[in-house]
Amino acid sequence: MTAQNSPQDNAEAQTNAQPDLPAKGVEVIRHALRTMPFAPGVYRMLGSKGEVLYVGKALSLKKRVTSYTQVGRLPERLRRMVSETASMEIVTTHTEAEALLLEANYIKRMKPRFNILLRDDKSYPWLMLTDGQAFPQIAKHRGKAVKGASLWGPFASAWAVNQTLNLIQRVFLLRSCADSVFNSRSRPCLLFQIKRCSAPCVERIDQQAYGQLVEQARDFLSGKDTALRETLGADMNRAAEEMDFERAAVLRDRIRALAQMQESSVINPASLQDADVFGLWQEAGQTCIQVFFVRGGRNNGSRSFFPAHAQDEAPADILSAFIVQFYDDKPCPAQILVNHALAESPLMAEALALRRGKKVEILNPQRGEKKQVVDHAVTNARDALNRRLAETAGQAKLLQGVADVFALDAPPERIEVYDNSHIQGAHAYGVMIVGGPEGFNRKAYRKFRIKGPITPGDDFAMMREVLERRFGRALREAEEGDTSNWPDVLLIDGGAGQYSAVRAVLDELGVTGVKLVGIAKGPDRDAGREWFYTDHTEPFQLPLRDPVLYYLQRLRDEAHRFAITTHRSGRSKALVTSELDDIPGIGPARKKMLLNTFGSARAVKQAGLEALEAAPGVSRELARVVYGHFHPGWSPD
């Protein structure tokens, strides 16, 4: 088997083999410098295919970019970048702070491989309290801000936001149900029975009293806990004096719940109201950054990040690049605490303040409570990185085991697994999943909607189409010198028949250097007694408790899971389509309007011309188009 090199390794090999490449890159940069201004802005280094290699910002574009022509003073990473530069693009800005924000946006969108990259493809949950309703709703929210609602967060995870939501329900008894459920209730739900809701849906509380609970919840989420507890304490004492012991007990329970929330936080410093805490830890050439979210004086949870960077990057530089990218798509708090002094801290604070609209402080505390909080984040970063390194080491052992079992020259870097899913040939999909040194690479997963023509249920023909489409593209990329997505092992779910069919397809396409393996269950479909098929050997089985067997089973099962979910999603989408989708001029809005008016696509089809013309939002001309679509022989007068 031929081992595939990474794009960085290929670039380095080309540079070593052709010493004139850096000179060519320098010439490209010098040519760009002729018309480059001294203004602040962002520059992009582009490769021969137009791909973005590197994005940088500068107070003076011309001065900054000139430094790239002095190749001998650059680190190895930037020398390789210059050697691959085929063209440059610039965007000028008014200030360096604006350039810093634009640079972060470009890096996050374009993912240039010579930059430090934040790996963060997850959205963050928020707490949402609706406005302008008689009985506002409290609920979790992800995505863009909703008009007519107040948001608090972000929270690090769904678990963290659920904890706060449960507290809000226990203390303030606000409804969490959707408006449709709220409007249709005739009796209280279970949440009322377990004292998590005040049941405004059936008027167990009036609008004024519910409004007071809403305002108290707003104060709590805004960090006004002390004043709230004092108010609740005074109300409890007053209720006790008035012999209203039932109300006093309710208020007592609410005060206890607030106190419990304060005590349960891992970090909850009195000196922090709205802040994010960043702790960076490095080990074995890898970096982990732990982020704690503190809002309203409460800990909203934490999350671990593992940014991609070159080996020679300094911790402070990694942290600086990470923070600016981190706030590219989320609001910034008033304070940012870090465990390394950042060289461009004043510039970063200015840039983030521009985005926030208020002052932002970046602090590197050396003593006191804030230092303890930062140290706690660093400890969590160290533990998270140690866990990741242990998992990576375990994964490396498994991949070495795969290499030993199938006689590979080296542990595989990329294992591709294929599967199909359909119901009697309908809504047929093929899928590809990818495994490697870091486990499942979900960003590399691919779905293939089977286009055909294929005999319903012909799994061999479906697999042929998937492989032709996948490797047709891979071969074109390889001709252009890009082998970064070339697999080392191709695993298929099937026995001798499937193996022979796939082998024939790969041979026809001229695919070489890929180890093909078939995995098939025994006659009784007994998991754990799988047979393996590959070239130059008889079918064989692995010992029952062999870790490599478990790993290959996991790969196959993940492909099967992905194929089923892809098929179900495609089938669900097909169910919501109708004949109306094929009519010119009928978009989603008019389709919805017609369905609401007539009840179904069949009713629209059977409707007369006069009824169509009377439908809201349908002009006389469009009504004739719709009628003519369902009555091909008809023509307007």
Q: Identify the structural domains of the chain with CATH numbers, from first to last.
A: 7-110 (3.40.1440.10), 126-264 (no CATH), 275-386 (3.30.420.10), 415-574 (3.30.420.340), 579-630 (1.10.150.20)
Output the pLDDT for position 629: 81
Q: With a cut of 70, say whether residue 527 has pLDDT above it.
A: no
Residue 524 binned pLDDT confidence (cut-offs 50, 70, 90): low
> Are the C-beta atoms of 49 and 479 separated by less than 8 Å?
no
Q: With a cut of 80, say whether residue 355 has pLDDT above it.
A: yes
Residue 577 binned pLDDT confidence (cut-offs 50, 70, 90): low
> Are the C-beta atoms of 515 and 488 separated by less than 8 Å?
yes
Q: With a cut of 60, say whether residue 255 has pLDDT above it.
A: yes
Rounded mean pLDDT, 425-451? 86
Q: With a cut of 80, say whether residue 590 has pLDDT above it.
A: no
* φ/ψ of residue 16, rounded to 5: -65, -35
Residue 7 binned pLDDT confidence (cut-offs 50, 70, 90): very low
Output the pLDDT for position 16: 41
Residue 522 binned pLDDT confidence (cut-offs 50, 70, 90): low
Query: Which is it for strands 426-436 and 439-440: parallel, antiparallel or unpaired?
Result: antiparallel
Which residue, among 144, 148, 138, has the nearest Cα to 215 in the 3D structure? Answer: 138
Output the pLDDT for position 597: 78
Beta bridge partners of 533: 518
| 449: enclosing H helix or E strand | strand 446-449
76 or 403, which is more confident? 403
What proportion of the chain, given as a percentage, has pLDDT over 90? 35
SS (H, E, C) 92-157: ECCCHHHHHHHHHHHHHHHCCCCCCECCCCCCCCEEEEECCCCCCCEEEECCCCCCCEEEECCCCC
Q: CA triplet 590, 594, 597: central angle to 5 degrees? A: 135
Rounded to whole angstroms, the Cα distance separating 187 from 597 reads 32
SS (H, E, C) 565-606: HHHHHHHHHHHCCCHHHHCCCCCHHHHHHHHHHHCCHHHHHH
Q: With a cut of 50, say whether residue 241 has pLDDT above it.
A: yes
Rounded mean pLDDT, 83-94? 93
Output the pLDDT for position 13: 41
271 or 356, which is more confident? 356
Count of all residues that appear for the chain in the document: 637
Residue 479 binned pLDDT confidence (cut-offs 50, 70, 90): confident
Rounded to whole angstroms, the Cα distance separating 130 from 150 reads 6
Output the pLDDT for position 616: 78
Output the pLDDT for position 164: 84
Rounded mean pLDDT, 428-447? 89
Rounded to whole angstroms, the Cα distance separating 445 from 254 reads 48
Rounded mean pLDDT, 213-223? 83
Which residue, among 89, 118, 83, 88, has the nearest Cα to 104 in the 3D structure? Answer: 118
> Are the C-beta atoms of 135 and 388 separated by less than 8 Å?
no
Chain mean pLDDT for the chain: 84
> Strands, E, within 160-274: which ranges?
none
Rounded mean pLDDT, 466-470? 90
> Strands, E, within 265-385: which ranges?
275-283, 286-295, 298-305, 335-338, 361-363
Long-range contacts at 246-255 (CB < 8 A, ≥ 24 apart) = 253/170, 253/195, 254/170, 254/171, 254/172, 255/229
Rounded mean pLDDT, 305-312? 88
Q: With a cut of 50, say whether residue 344 has pLDDT above it.
A: yes
Q: Is 458 helix (H, G, I), strand (E, B) or coil?
A: coil
> Are the C-beta atoms of 221 and 250 separated by less than 8 Å?
no
Most confident of the following: 180-194, 259-273, 337-351, 588-602: 337-351
Rounded to whole angstroms, the Cα distance separating 271 from 286 reads 32
401 or 523, which is more confident? 401
Output the pLDDT for position 321: 93
Q: CA triplet 83, 88, 92: central angle to 5 degrees? A: 140
pLDDT of 28-79, one tens digit each?
A: 999 999 999 999 999 999 998 889 999 999 999 999 999 999 888 888 888 8
> Are the C-beta atoms of 391 and 439 separated by less than 8 Å?
yes
* φ/ψ of residue 292, rounded to 5: -105, 135
Output the pLDDT for position 121: 63
Can you read off the two tokens belonging to residue 217? 């919840």
Output the pLDDT for position 378: 94
Rounded to whole angstroms, the Cα distance separating 99 from 346 reads 14
252 or 599, which is more confident? 252
> Are the C-beta atoms of 379 and 279 separated by less than 8 Å?
yes
Output the pLDDT for position 10: 44
pLDDT of 292-305, one tens digit each?
A: 998 887 788 889 99
Give the C-alpha distances (Å, rounded to integers) separating 186 from 5, 170, 182, 426, 554: 66, 22, 9, 43, 48
Rounded mean pLDDT, 141-165? 84
> Are the C-beta atoms of 333 and 274 separated by less than 8 Å?
yes
**Left if phi > 0, otherwise alpha if psi is -120 to 50, otherwise beta: which for 500?**
alpha
Which residue, among 442, 436, 441, has the nearest Cα to 398 in the 3D structure? Answer: 436
Residue 417 binned pLDDT confidence (cut-offs 50, 70, 90): very high
> Are the C-beta atoms of 518 and 498 separated by less than 8 Å?
yes
Most confident of the following: 173-177, 183-187, 248-252, 420-424: 173-177
224 or 341, which is more confident? 341
DSSP state, residue 5: P
